[in-house]
């Protein structure tokens, strides 16, 4: 009788414990969110609700906003510092006002015969966690405790191209070369490279983007504090229409 009671009661006790205790993460997403304590928009429903109230929070597809830009979303390939794709598809999204500002940058550059090549834009918070846990350094990989401005849909990694040839202009380093040469103050460079870097930084600044000092290719949109961290995959964004 005692034995029978034990077998009957044990699963009941476990079920009650699990129902009451919500502290145990049940998904990888919950696990890293608890670990770093960052607050993110992590469901399609929440994102849809926010955009319905504040249309500027929509993450818009840059390919639609910038049809003349070039795209090379390297995180969707193995050709990146992680050595493996971290995106399932080469999505490129920004919050609507940032995308509109980038369109103005492109129009200004087009008059001079230049265009933009986008390497990365909105980045799901999940990927910031993966980057940080790979490098364990927050100089080049944003800390998951605070998140990245990429997670807010307010940062973009890009370079200049010659509009007539599609070729990249000479810059101090390739994308994601994490060296002192990537710092915007690094000056031991050919005149042409200094000029190209300056042209990019100035064109972006004219429309509300400031360069990140350690990475000449990374730009933050001035209004980034207005926007929350988002942890939705590109495929989830694509599933939402407004």
The residue with tokens 């370079």 is 159
Q: Which range, of 34-42, 62-70, 149-157, 220-228, touches Zn ion by CB under 5 A?
A: 149-157
User: Coil, strand or helix: which one is 59?
Assistant: strand
Work out whether 58 is an interface residue with Zn ion (CB under 5 A).
no
Can residue 57 be called a binding residue for Zn ion (CB under 5 A)? no
Closest-CB residue for Zn ion? 218
The nearest distance, CB 210 to Zn ion, in angstroms, is: 12
CB-based contacts of 157: which residues, under 8 Å, 6+ apart? 118, 119, 120, 121, 175, 215, 217, 218, 219
The least distance separating Zn ion from the CB of residue 12, rounded to whole angstroms, comes to 51
Residues of span 195-234 touching Zn ion by CB under 5 A: 218
d(Cα 178, Cα 202) in Å, to the nearest integer? 22
Q: Which residues of 164-195 are buried (b: 16+ CB within 10 A; e: fewer)?
A: eeeebbebbbebbeeeeebebebeebeeebee
Task: Give the nearest distance from C-beta 215 to Zn ion in angstroms.
Answer: 6
Give Dmax over CA atoms of the chain in angstroms: 89
**Interface mask toward Zn ion for 151-170; x: CB under 5 A:** ------x-------------
Q: Which is nearer to Zn ion, 46 or 79 (CB)?
A: 79
Q: Return the structure tokens found at 140.
A: 């080049």
Nearer of residues 51 and 92 to Zn ion, judged by Cβ: 92
117 touches Zn ion (CB under 5 A): no
Interacting residue ranges for Zn ion, rule: CB under 5 A:
157, 218
């Amino acid at each position: 009788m005692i034995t029978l009671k034990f077998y009957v009661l044990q699963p009941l006790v476990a079920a009650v414990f699990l129902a009451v205790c919500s502290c145990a993460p049940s998904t990888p997403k919950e696990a890293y969110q608890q670990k770093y304590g960052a607050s993110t928009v992590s469901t399609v429903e929440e994102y849809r609700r926010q955009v319905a109230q504040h249309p500027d929070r929509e993450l818009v597809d840059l390919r639609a906003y910038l049809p003349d830009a070039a795209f090379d979303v390297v995180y969707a390939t193995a050709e990146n510092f992680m050595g493996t794709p971290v995106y399932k598809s080469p999505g490129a999204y920004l919050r609507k006002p940032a995308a509109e500002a980038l369109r103005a940058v492109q129009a200004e550059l087009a008059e001079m015969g230049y265009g933009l090549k986008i390497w990365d834009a909105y980045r799901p918070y999940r990927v910031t966690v993966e980057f940080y846990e790979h490098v364990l350094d927050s100089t080049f990989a944003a800390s998951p405790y605070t998140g990245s401005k990429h997670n807010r849909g307010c940062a973009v990694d890009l370079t200049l191209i010659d509009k007539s040839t599609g070729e990249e202009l000479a810059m101090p380093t390739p994308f994601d070369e994490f060296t002192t040469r990537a710092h915007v103050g690094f000056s031991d460079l050919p005149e042409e490279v200094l000029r190209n870097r300056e042209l990019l930084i100035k064109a972006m600044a004219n429309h509300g983007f400031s360069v990140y000092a350690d990475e000449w290719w990374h730009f933050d949109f001035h209004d980034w504090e207005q926007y929350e961290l988002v942890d939705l995959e590109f495929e989830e964004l694509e599933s939402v229409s407004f």
